Chains A and B, each alone.
Chain A
Amino acid sequence: MKVSYQWLKEYINLEGIAPEALAEMLTRGGIEVDTVEQRNRGVSNVVVGHVLEKQKHPDADRLSVCRVDAGTGEILQIVCGAPNVAAGQKVPVALIGAKLPGGVTIKRAKLRGVESQGMICSAKELGINDRLLPKEMQEGILVLPEDSVIGTPITEVLGLDDAVLELDLTPNRADCLSMIGVAYETAALTGRAVKLPDAGVTAGPVKAADRIAVTISAPDHCFRYAARYVQGVKVGPSPQWMQNRLIAAGIRPINNIVDITNYVMLEYGQPLHAFDADKLGGRIDVRLARPGETIVTLDDQERKLDPDMLLITDGERPVALAGVMGGANTEVTDGTVNVVLESAAFDAASVRRTSRRLGLRSEASLRFEKGVDPSRVVPAVDRAAQLMARYAGGTVAEGVVEAVVREGEPAVVRVPLAKINGRLGTSLSAEEVEGIFSRLGFESGLSADGVFTVKVPTRRGDISIPEDLIEEVARLYGYDNIPATAIEGSTTAGRLTGPQAIRRALRERLADAGLQETFTYSLTHPSRTRMFTLLAEGAVPIRVAMPMSEDRSELRTSLVPSLIDAAIYNRNRKNTDLRLFEIGSVFLTNEERLTGLPRESHRIAGLLTGSRTDAQWNVKAEPVDFYDAKGVVELIFDLLGLSGRVRYEAAAPDNLHPGRAAKIWLDTGAGEALVGYVGQLHPDLQRKEELDDTYVFELALDELYAHADTAITQQPLPRYPSVERDLAVLVDRSVEAGGLLRAIREAGGDLLESVDVFDVYVDDRLGADKKSVAFSLVYRHPERTLTDEEVNDRHAAIVDRLARAFGAELRK
């Protein structure tokens, strides 16, 4: 809503309140003013001139030489380039010394040898948005009404000494979609009185009821319909001041009839429509559309109607889409003589549905969608009729023809004073609160036990419960005046849940270990939701109904593709050494079409590619390998106290290198659960995405939350010495270190404190298909010093076990 400051002054005294101050006051009161725009962008010394004569320029085809009376006492010779300039016109003339927007000063000049004593201006040159003017005035000079007085400053004629406040209204404050509404709001903020316009009508001898009949056949969609009949209008331009106000409000002037309906809509917030009465006939019936029915609207488009769309009909054929747009068949044209004026209260939801579905949004539909004040239906139609008598030469027929389903009743809301103060944390007196209601124009009474009974005018349809009134009190009392207090009542302890603490610890540990956290999108391309499905077996990717692009159309089922995309993005920017991780949700369902919420599974995933460390002058840049990725996974299990319960199984999950990937199993105490995978991207995928060797992992965090063992119990430090022995065995290359380690631990029993792999050596000299694996073992007894004999026995048992189980030969 754009509010002209000068126009607003007609309804409330704004003395001492500059436009900027008014804007600040409204904003602090809850009606946000986006901008305050001065209509005069720097125009001075431009006046109304009368073009007496127009001749062709002797040396330029496109220029003409005009003789203009601008009231300066002499006739000015002005060279003009506009195609639409003509003798007899009243035009804006910038005199010598005039200033125009953009810092232009008009000087005496010679154009192609002919002297020009000023300039005839276009709307654009005067800094007026010419989008709302007729095309010929956009391309040429601004032509003023014939009755404009020669010599009058143009700022006065065009109402440029004005400021326009653009309101950014919240959906509940539709009451401020009208000048009167803004005046009421200003009155509440200033304590000044609202002056309502005089809507008195002088009626002629004809009775409207003899010319028009109104019925409502869709009482659920139209609550009230009022019509007036105006005879003998003369269609022509509306007065300049009215056009100025419409332009200030952003509405295009058309003709006096249409302009008056728009003017009254801006004034009262009540949209009006004018029918050519002779094309309409004598009947109006408001009803729902019939199946297959169509209407040609004012913009000459044929609209196919749905049966829930509300129509105005002449008893048979549609003549308007109620609240949205009029029909071409009853349009007011230059030849229109008699007019039927419509003012109605349509159902907001009905208008919204129709305007959305047809893609037709107008100033009228905007107001109906938010609900109009039923008490203004009749005053608005009266006011329009009055203006048509005054500015279109019409005679108003006597009476308003009305169909009423229900009248809007003022809401009565009760609220105890104690509740107001209790909710706000204030200690307002009854008088203070009563004063606020009175400034709002709400009648209120206070009972002996301190309960206000407030009668809310219908213009404030947003107020229906006590909390609405509390809000009115708060905003008019001023939020700055409400104290800042601490919550009273019992205290609570703030703490993280187990999973929250785990996620925090994981992020910190991985960042400290040199990995960078990423944030990627949950929506991704369908090709990405069908990759790395090991942990999402049987899941059907979930597609949003109206994606903004195919790239963001499905919910991810794995975090790894997102990390791959991040790697590609970085690769394209020459960031090739990447160690990334992300914690986030994936979305899993087995349903082809969702009937319930999908399972949201928390995952942690990582990606490593490029060098292990940043290249430094004294550190060789070595490429990352499988064991870097697995090391990060082990770090995670260490942090969660789960390392002893994890098994890595060589596997070939989709999109991973079949020789360099593992499934990760967790011993849950009730069997093993698949909790993740780690591996190198399949070489085909790396080639397709043009990535270097890239390693990824993904773990199902939900499973880990449940089993994480984060309770620390300190173990006593050993009191007896350990015995360290190394062991190197020759085995087939296919033998996995994991199996050897498991066998060593089993055979080593309670005397074996730890075992680590310290070397793996592959060489054909060892024998075809053979490799050497070396372990370092630590033996210890908690309560005494081990003897050599004991250690030798146990060590021999281990060697024996490896020999039997794996055909391992001891290397000497």
Chain B
Amino acid sequence: MKERLEALREEALRELAEAGDPARLNDLRVKYLGKKGALTEILRGMGGLTAEERPVVGRIANEVRAAIEGMIEEKLRQLREEETARRLKAETVDVTLPGRKPPAGAIHPLTRVTREIEDVFLGMGYTIAEGPEVETDFFNFEALNLPKDHPARDMQDSFYITDEILLRTQTSPVQIRAMRAMNGRTPLKIICPGKVYRRDDDDATHSFQFNQVEGLVVDRNIRMSDLKGTLLEFARAMFGPQTRIRLRPSFFPFTEPSVEVDVTCVQCGGSGCRMCKHTGWLEILGAGMVHPRVLEYGGYDPNEVSGFAFGLGIERVALLKYGVDDIRNFYLNDMRFLRQFARM
């Protein structure tokens, strides 16, 4: 019996060594160790052994079982390793090939700039006021201290629809509407972004349709110095903390005093370059203290309150900020242009 067990061990180990896949190993396990397997078969003959022989044969039988099981385990481990190695090799990718990108869109550069400006002023406690793009002559001109025969309002320069209705030439009418909505209450702190229209021939720096943002603050004791402080803070938020501003006297019918506001050149920082025509300064804003007549049109008593107002062109800022050389690009919607604004 001992001999048969030894022969069984030898045969099993030889067959296991040749097995090449887990299924074959399983078959062999059944063949040798199963309920009807070879080992069980041999052990059925145990009844014919003496009491002395039994433990010895039993021990040998256990050794044979252990040897076969051990071999199966070892063989399985080996096969798994080979399988893993094969799989890793087969699954290797070329990491230098491009990835599969989800489609990317972008917000228009004019929206980006508008939003950036809005965010600066929202942070300073302003709200955003809006108004119609088709306006009455009264709100667009008259209430802004531009009476009918004023030289600054040439019919040729505006898109009139009727004698009394036109496409707004500035976002200032929103200021009048916002003031009136306050019914004399203060403080009023708004910015008014939006589209405006002027009868200008389109060229690299002019567009008959463009966007403005205007700001208005009305309260007791608003001072020119507040305007200066506000615009300085805005310029620094927009163009960087080193930015300086410069106020130059100017004229607008709706403000008095009126100023034009230069900021240090975004390109050279003030040392002078082609962009700023070697002056170190870029003209960005028009501003001033609200004209008493405009306050009156807005329903305020100019002896009780004062205010400041300012305005700037979105396209102008976008041209400077992104180095765009032709304003018409903003309205052509060429994908090759717009896609350049997909970054954060």
Q: Name A's B-contacting residues (CB within 8 A).
A: 27-30, 32, 170-173, 349, 352, 369-370, 422-426, 465, 467-468, 470-471, 474-475, 479-480, 482-497, 500, 504, 507-508, 510-523, 542-548, 552, 555, 566, 569-570, 573, 575, 578-580, 585, 587, 593-595, 597-598, 600, 612-614, 616-619
Contact = CB atoms under 8 A, between A and B. Distances in A.
A510 B126 contact: no
A-B residue pairs, 6 tightest by C-beta: A425-B225, A514-B103, A30-B249, A170-B251, A425-B223, A471-B257
Given A507-B107, A517-B105, A369 B248 contact: no
Contact of B101 (A27, A423, A426, A616): A616
A544 B225 contact: no
Given A170-B250, A504-B115, A616-B101, A544 B334 contact: no
A16 to B, nearest CB: 23
A772 B199 CA distance: 60
Contact of B134 (A490, A507, A597): A597
12 contacts: A423-B289, A425-B226, A467-B256, A471-B258, A480-B246, A515-B105, A519-B111, A519-B331, A523-B209, A544-B159, A548-B208, A578-B335
Contacts of A513: 103, 105
Contacts of A594: 161-162, 165
Interface string B97-130: 1101111111110110001000001111111101
Given A475-B249, A479-B246, A619-B100, 12 more contacts: A172-B251, A173-B251, A471-B258, A489-B221, A490-B187, A494-B123, A511-B105, A523-B208, A523-B209, A569-B333, A570-B333, A585-B133
Interface string B180-220: 00000011010000010101010000001100000001011
Interface string B112-155: 00010000011111111010111110000000000001011001
B251 A492 contact: no
A489 B223 CA distance: 12
B105 A544 contact: no
B122 A495 contact: yes
Given A171-B151, A487-B217, A519 B108 contact: yes
B317 interface: no
B222 interface: yes
A618 B99 CA distance: 9
A619 B247 CA distance: 56
A613 B103 contact: yes
Contacts of A492: 125-127, 187, 189
A513 B186 CA distance: 42
B134 A600 contact: yes
A520 B246 CA distance: 34
Contacts of A520: 331, 333
Given A424-B223, A479-B228, A543-B161, A570 B335 contact: yes
B212 to A, nearest CB: 14
Contacts of A487: 217, 219, 222, 226, 229-230
B336 interface: yes
A160 B244 CA distance: 39
A493 B108 contact: no
A482 B228 contact: yes
Contact of A510 (B97, B105, B332): B105
B172 interface: no
B105 A519 contact: no
Nearest to B188: A492
Contacts of B174: none
A494 B127 contact: yes
Contacts of A617: 97-98
Contacts, number: 240
Contacts of B115: 504
A614 B111 CA distance: 25
Contacts of A518: 108, 333, 338
Contacts of A593: 162
A521 B335 contact: no
A699 to B, nearest CB: 18
Contact of A474 (B127, B152, B221, B224): B224
A467 B224 contact: no
- Looking at A424, A484, A566, which has the most chain B CB atoms within 10 Å of its CB? A484
A479 B229 contact: no
B128 A616 contact: no
A495 B119 CA distance: 9
A581 to B, nearest CB: 8
B134 A542 contact: yes
Contact of A546 (B101, B160, B230): B160
A587 B161 CA distance: 12
Contacts of B224: 423-425, 474, 482
B161 A544 contact: yes
B316 interface: no
Contacts of B189: 492, 494
Given A425-B224, A492-B187, A507-B107, A616 B98 contact: yes
A137 B187 CA distance: 67
Contacts of A507: 107, 111
Contacts of B306: 422-423
B65 interface: no
B248 A479 contact: yes
Given A487-B226, A489-B187, A492-B125, A597 B221 contact: no
A474 B247 CA distance: 11
B330 interface: yes
Contacts of A545: 159-162
Contact of B257 (A470, A489, A490, A548): A470
Contacts of B165: 594, 597
Contacts of A613: 103
Contacts of B122: 494-496
B29 interface: no
B227 to A, nearest CB: 9
B333 A580 contact: yes
B334 A573 contact: yes
B232 interface: yes
B107 A511 contact: yes
B167 A544 contact: yes
Contacts of B280: none
B339 interface: yes
A491 B339 CA distance: 40
Nearest to A602: B130
A720 B176 CA distance: 60
B103 A614 contact: yes
Nearest to A516: B105
B311 interface: no
A622 to B, nearest CB: 12
B259 interface: yes
Contacts of B292: 465, 467
A632 B167 CA distance: 32
B9 interface: no
B243 to A, nearest CB: 12
B234 to A, nearest CB: 11
